[in-house]
Structure 1
């Protein structure tokens, strides 16, 4: 059941986060939209995507602690946490400044660590909850010019898989969502020249499709959700036969 669930979403001021919140709100949930831009959060909430907003920077310990404390004070519980905040920069490894590696890891990985640590004690006290981490197919199938981004998402998957085992039997579900390319403003920063987006346009997913599937996990939890099916099949092939898959698919993956 989705109705009346308190769902905290990070990275919810636009894109997948805002769209997911909208689907959940229409299903009767009570989304709490979190992000750095208060004006955009309020616009998203006013458009039907949220019951409340919290200004939150996932890279800042105090900001995360204060936001989650405020949510618990107002609502008394957190039923679902959707860790969606993240960004990517697509550059060759030897052309990527150390600070950019650090920044992606701080947002994409440590942001999830901070938010999960802030929500988990309340979920344990409740004896129920659901943590949904938005990772990426890139965390399973790395491609050229994505070393920093893929590494951060690989870390998210490692964290998710370990946490799921630790929380087995606790009443708290842990899910990973691994989408492939999505037609969102993500690529404005990750791919400013637009070359990658043009090269993989045929497989790029519509944002609402992904948001709808993430919202569906709240009602029907599962361990992992890989999107789209073609890339999901490719990751399985790569995991089983990495050498063969690299030789066959390597040129196809070099699109950035």
Structure 2
């Protein structure tokens, strides 16, 4: 799909992968509706518009979608479900509130946003939904059971969804990045972000690549890993 002039909703736009993806999409000519709790610093562009939205609230998602359609037009060509967070800890000492926070953001938020855009995409008979899972969505990680559980859920949702909507011309792609040098690791004990990890721009470029594939096929799953991880 040629991204020029296409309206793309991007959640979790304020920093990290979301911010890098917004810049990559703008560079390809897209119109970006950035959804998030806080606006990205210093991102000023005629084709970027920020809409305050906490994806944990279905009411907030519906409002952001209504505002996006009003401001940018009814046609929504892609949704990138990027908003997410990870909290580490052993299962028997883990906060139930933190468990719910991760599911509310990583899983329920993805569902609310997807549910919001699908009727219009079905009407258009074209669209693309990109979901950000993780390597943690393919294998268990010690003291990351809650995060892994959410990312396994993203994987199952994505693989089911693509079979459900493919005949309506809607593509679904799920990404499984390994370690990326972002603030994600600020709250993960024992791991520090470093230059040997992938960069947010690497993930952004891959998302753009998936979006620009010809109409007759789509990439279902993409696993990404650093080439030379820190020993």
Aligned residue number for residue 248 of structure 1? none
Q: Aligned partners of 1:125, 1:170: CA distance in 2, in Å?
A: 8
User: Are 1:21 and 2:22 counterparts?
Assistant: yes
Write the distance in 1 (CA, Å) between the matches of 2:178 and 2:49.
Answer: 29
1:29-40 aligned within 5 A = 29-37=30-38, 40=39
1:55 equivalent in structure 2 = 52
In the superposition, the TM-score normalised over structure 2's length comes to 0.91
Q: What is the count of residue pairs matched by the alignment?
A: 223
- SS of equivalent to 2:3: coil
1:45 and 1:53 in contact (8 A); partners too: no
Shift of 1:45: 3.1
> What is residue 224 of structure 1 aligned with on the other side?
221
Q: Deviations over 1:36-83 (max 9, x none)?
A: 01xx33x3531x495211000000111100000111122221100000
Alignment correspondent of 2:96: 98
Structure 2 unpaired stretches of 5+: none
Instruction: Quote the offset at 1:197 in angstroms.
Output: 2.4
- Structure 2 counterpart of 1:213: 206
Greater shift, 92-101 or 147-156, is seen at 92-101
Q: Which has the higher helix share?
A: 1
Q: TM-score normalized by structure 1? A: 0.82
Runs of 4+ in 1 over 4 A off after TM superposition: none
Following the alignment from structure 2 to structure 1, what is the Cα–Cα distance between the partners of residues 42 and 27?
14
For 1:118-197, list aligned pairs within 5 A.
118-189=116-187, 191=188, 193=189, 195-197=190-192
Unpaired runs of 5+ residues, structure 1, are 232-254
8 Å Cα contact 1:130-1:173 kept in structure 2:
yes
Q: Give 1 or 2 for the bigger CA radius of gyration.
A: 1
Structure 2 distance, partners of 1:84, 1:168, is 21
